[in-house]
Each structure stands twice: as structure tokens, then as C-alpha cells.
Structure 1
Amino acid sequence: MRVELGECQVKVAVIGCGTMGRTHAAEWKRMPGIRLAGVCDAQEGAARSLAGRLETEAYEDFDRMIGEADPDIVDICLPTHLHKEFIFRAARSGKHVICEKPIALSADEAEEAAAECRKHGVRLFIGHVVRFFPSYADIRRKAAEGTIGTPAVLHAKRMGANPGLAKPWYANSDRSGGVILDLMIHDIDFAQSLFGGAVSVYAMNRREGNTDYALATLRFGSGEIAHLEAYWGFPGPFTTGVELAGTGGVLRFNSEDAVSLRVFKAKEAAAGSGVAAAVPVPKSPSTYNPYYLELAHFADCVRTGREPEVTAEDACSALRTSLAVIESARTGRPVKLQDAREGENRHVYR
């Protein structure tokens, strides 16, 4: 079945009315050319509350929502262990699919979900939203422009409160994948968007009480390295940071800084000084938040048929690498990604 969109507004339905579902639904509601056709949640109160606030229809039953709202796109904002089931159900209903990351809990489930969407002629988009954060997008763009020469080493961190304290399913690694699959995967995807598919990983993971901490080193096909840190249980505000070092300088961002991005570019030293100047270049924040940018991009891809910033294969690759990180942390040994292909080792700066 091939889905064609008419000239009318694109209709979107959201399933899952938790934090992420509320975030997505609010962005859809204010987006030109989009009609939020309904929201669905097994907890009727959650669906009715969100629907009332956004002036749309509330549903408890997914199939009823599909039949009555007849959306063009289904946006899946459910716990990770439910992703595959509802990707299948949406695809079999002939609906394009947007699904929060990660795509699934296992590589097999991810490949099956992608294949099911191809079978029914619908698009599959996975919400690796960090690609749409202005500072991270700036880093990728400047790397591609050659601002820091040849990028070689990435350091990235992501830390915040443990979501398992509020929602128990996060604390169950069989349902969430823990801090690696739910949080570090953001930076794994970002690293692979720079360097291509990782070829090996080495990691540690410490869980104690309400703390879930992971540290991983990824190696890439042309010798690049990424050092990634993720932490549930951080006592301060949610914090992210990234630093990309190349042969000609450094790109750096930290959420604790007031500016979006600083560029420290290596320059020719003045004669006799022996010192290379470092010049910070601030960037203005985006008018729209990253979730709006991400969803608007996916909707545009549905309308136009163009390739998305994050492909289903990108999402599958990020999942495979994340699972390798989990395996390395479990065994205490490096893990090679046997399916890291030559074609995955593309570089934005070439």
C-alpha cells in the first residue's frame, strides 16, 4: 500500500500522553499545515486532559483512533518496549510513522520494524532530536565546512536526574535499556553522524541505588575516537556538553554556558610569539525549539518524499552500537561491531 497525501492539511495523531507525548502534541498543534487529529493513551484521564488543552479528540483505543481520526502520520511516544508493536500496527494501517528513540530494544526488532514499514509503503522516522539542537547542528556544519580541519576526537556528556524515580519503567532495563540505550544513544547517534558507523566500543556501566552511570569509548573506521559519558542520578540541572577536536582547532558547547556555541579556531602564530590565538564565536539560539524543528522536518519529508536528516538505518545503526556498548560494559571487554560496513564510515568533512 502506498500512502499519498492530499492537498489538505496533514493529519497527525499522537499515541502516548506522557512527557514526550505532551511535548510532541503541543508542537504539532502550533505548526502550520498540520492538524492534530487526536491523542491516545491507555489512561483515559491523561488523554482527556491533553486533548482538552489542545482542543483535539481523546482516545483510549489505538484502533478506534486510527478508524475515526484517520491520521496521515502516527507519532509514537510510548515506553521503548512498546515501540515495535505500535510501529507494526501503524504501518499495517497504512500510516506514516514517527517514533521516539530508540527505535526498539533489540537489533532484530529494529530491522523488523523498518522492514514492516517498507512492506506497507510508509515512511519511518525516529526521533533522535539532538541532531536538531542548534548547537549540535552548528558543530556538524562547521566540521563539514572544514573550520577545524580534519575532526578526530569527540568528547560528549549528558547527565540529569534518574527518570526511574518518576516512571518505574525507566528503572527496568528490560523495558528502557537503562542510561545507555535511553540517554547515551543521543551522543552515539551524533558521533556516528560525524564519523560513520563505529567499528568497536569499550565501556563501563555502574548502577547503584538511583545512580546509573556509563562511560564509553567508540572507535571509527578512519581512526577517529569518541569518548561518551551518560549519567542518571546527577544532582544538578540537566547538563549536556560536546567538544569536537580536529587538526586545526576545537568546536565546543556546554549547556551551562550562556552562549549556544563557541568556536576555538587555531590560527597561525604571530612571528616570535609562539602562541596561537583562540577566538570564541557565539551563535544565536533558534526561534523554534528542537522538537518543533524535528517534527516539522519529518512532516516535510512526508509531504515531499525527500530523505530525512535521520534515516531508519541511522536509527538501527545507533541501536546496534548502543547494544555493543551495553555488551562491553557487561563483559568488561572491547566489542567489535561485525556489521560495521565500509559504506557506513562516511565523514561530513570529506
Structure 2
Amino acid sequence: MKVAVIGCGSMGNVHVSAFHRMPDVELTAVCDIVKERAWFAAKRTEAKAFTSFEDMLEQAEFDVISIVVPSYLHKEFAVKAARAGKHVISEKPASLTIADTKDMIAACEENQVRFFVGHVVRFFPDYTQLKQVVEQGKLGPLGVIHAKRGGSHPGGASNWFSDPEKSGGIIFDLMIHDIDYLRWTVGEVESVYAMQYVTEELETAFVTLEFQNGAVASLEGIWGYPGAFHTEIELAGSKGVARNRSKDTSSLSVVQAAKPGSNRPVVEIPESPGLHSPYDLELAHFISCIRTGQQAIVTGEDALAAITIASCAVQSAKSGKVVKLADAGKGA
């Protein structure tokens, strides 16, 4: 399987390294408008460097394109690649609008190529274990969920993050991880309420999701946190609570309530993630799906659903009102 990567910044190099390590994949080309970045990625992998996507399409041989450019450019390159008969892997978010994401899905379907979006939290072992705990019924029906993630402001490294027209802001770029994960784990979202605070150095957002099954989730995101990047998640149901805090030594603990009449103590089961990079797992999975034709853990429709929820959150933050998913896009 021959693969090319467009975008050789920090995340692009994660993709470059992952593909370069795969024994059954050949990284044939890398592309970036900054010549030095493309050259560096090519030099350490023996891929051919390009500064023009069109030149790479014309001159390089590849089956799959991994798109790791700023979010507002995802649609442009995905559609061009699909029309050239290339399978498409896009970093999250798929795009910054519902319409653009639909266009990306349609372009891939029309040209009979696969479309994948890198919602990598689905591949983090501790988050996967949390989902398994829910599926096994250990927590009972879920009632309240809390998720939080934050770190330094990425605009300090790449200024396009500070422009919501290019990055979508904190909700689209950072909080969409928890939006996608919770929809995958809890179920479909019915309504969204959001608040947002933005300065030059700090961006925070609070998003409340009400699910069709009655569960409610509160999400927090922060860019500009003075400490290390961190995540937290807690899911509470009628039978117990499961939580994960990246700052804890033990990355995942499950605490189940004792059964009525039982003398056993509350049980805490610490579990640790595996040694493989979630990005390696994710990209290897996408390549496997192309080879076998199997459905991916993350589908284009999943990516569209995450974009729809994020769009509703941004709309709510602007209007100060609850937005129903059924009304997604109206008045935006």
C-alpha cells in the first residue's frame, strides 16, 4: 500500500512516522508549502518531497493520501484526491461546516474511494476500556457524564489556530474529541447548550449535551492552561462510576457499587493503556479497512455527526440558547 502525506507540521510528522514504521506500507511522497518541512520529512523516510499538491498527484505513485493541513483546507484536498482516485484519510475535524463534510463524503462515494477521519480518542486504550465498561452494563443506564481536556494555546506554535475561520476554535479543534467519543459511547445527541470565553491568550468553552436516552454530559475545554496537557472523563450510572484522569498514575479506574445485601466492599479496578501509539493503531486500522473492505471504527457519517454537534455548540454559544440537533445549521 503506497501512501502520501500532505502537511508536514507537528501532526503531519506523526502521520509520516506512523506510516514509515508500518512494514506493509510504503510512504512514497510528502508535501508541504514550506519547503524545509517537506524536505525534512522526506530525508528521514526516503519519500519524495513536494511543495505542490498538484505536482505530487501528477508525479508520485500512491493509493492513499493522509491530509494533515489546517482544518479549513481539508475539504479542498480531500475532494481533489478523491477525484484522482485516492483513498482519503483526514485529520479531525473533517471540515468546519456540515455542508463541506457532506461534500467530502459525496466526493469519495462518487469516486469509489474510502474516507476516514482521525478521531483518535476512539483508539486510546483507556477510553476504549471505558466504552467496554459501559457496554458490559457495569455502570447501568448512564445518567451524568463529565469530560474535560486542556493545555497550552496552540496558536503560539501555529497562528492559524487563533483564527476561528481556519481552525473552528476550541470546540471544533479540541472538544470535538470528547464530542465524538461520547456520541460513540453514550448514543445520539438531542440538544446542545454552550458558553464560550475568548481572549488573545485564553480560550475556554463549556458544552452541555443532552442525549436521546436521557443522559446529560458536561464538557469543558481550555486553551491557555499554564500546566501540562490533561484530560479527564467520568461516566456515572445507576450501578457505578468509571473515571479516567490523565494526571493519575493509574490511567483508568472502575468503581462499582455493591449489590444490595452484599457484604463485599466497593471494588476499584485500575487498568493501564497499551504501549502502542493510538495514532499508529488508528492509521493501521484505516489501511486494513482499505485492504479488506471492512467498515472502519470511525465512518464518514460519524465524522459528520461530530461536525453537526460542534456546529450546534458554536451556534448555541453565539445565541445563548439551546440548539436542537434537529435544527442543526438553522440560523447559523
Same-fold call, TM cutoff 0.5: yes
What RMSD, in angstroms, separates the aligned Cα atoms of the two structures? 1.4
Q: Which amino acid aligns with 2:275?
A: T
Runs of 4+ in 1 over 3 A off after TM superposition: none
Q: Which residue of 2 aligns with 1:182?
A: 173
Letter of the structure 2 residue corresponding to residue 226 of structure 1: A
TM-score between both structures, scaled by the size of structure 1: 0.91
Gap runs ≥5 in structure 2: none
Q: 129, 149, 170: which one pairs with 1:158?
A: 149
Q: Which of 93, 118, 121 is matched with 1:127 structurally?
A: 118
2:195 matches 1:200: no
CA distances 1:149-176 after superposition (whole Å, capped 9, x unpaired): 2222211001000001111100000110
Once the 2 structures are TM-superposed, how far is the Cα of residue 68 of structure 1 from its aligned partner?
2.6
Cα distance in 1 for residues equivalent to 2:23 and 2:86: 20
Deviation by residue 1:285-330 (Cα, 9 ceiling, x = unmatched): 2121100010011111000000100110000000010010011111
Listed one character per residue, the Cα deviations across residues 61-88 of structure 1 (whole Å, up to 9, x for unaligned) are 1122223322111000000010000000
Displacement of 1:270: 5.8
Asked if residue 98 in structure 1 is aligned to residue 89 in structure 2, the reply is yes
Aligned match of 1:317: 305
Given that 1:169 and 1:176 are in contact with CA atoms closer than 8 Å, whether structure 2 keeps it comes out as: yes
Alignment of 1:111-150 (within 5 A): 111-150=102-141
Distance 2:282 2:206 in 1: 27
**Aligned partners of 2:270, 2:58: CA distance in 1, in Å?**
49
Gaps of 5+ in 1: 1-9, 341-350
Helix, strand or coil at the partner of 1:313: helix
Residue 269 of structure 1, CA deviation:
5.5
Q: Distance in 1 between matches of 2:201 and 2:91?
A: 24
1:18-167 equivalence runs, <5 A: 18-167=9-158
Match of 1:210 among 201, 214, 231: 201
**Structure 2 Cα separation of the partners of residues 35 and 283 of structure 1:** 35
1:258 aligns with 2:256: no
What is the identity percentage for the equivalent residue pairs of Structure 1 and Structure 2? 45
Q: Distance in 2 between matches of 1:112 and 1:289?
A: 31
Contact 1:134 1:260 in 2 (8 A): no
* Superposition TM-score, scaled by structure 2 size: 0.96
Q: Deviations over 1:162-217 (max 9, x none)?
A: 00111110000011010011001100001100222211011100012310000011
Select the residue among 141, 160, 172 that pairs with 1:169: 160
Instruction: Look up the equivalent residue of 2:11 and give its one-letter code.
Output: M
Query: Which of 301, 308, 318 is residue 289 of structure 2 equivalent to?
Result: 301
Measure the CA separation in 1 of the matches of 2:200 and 2:59: 45
How far residue 147 of structure 1 moved from its aligned partner, in angstroms, is: 1.6
Residue 242 (structure 2) pairs with residue 246 (structure 1):
no
Moved more, 142-151 or 75-84: 142-151
Count matched residues: 328
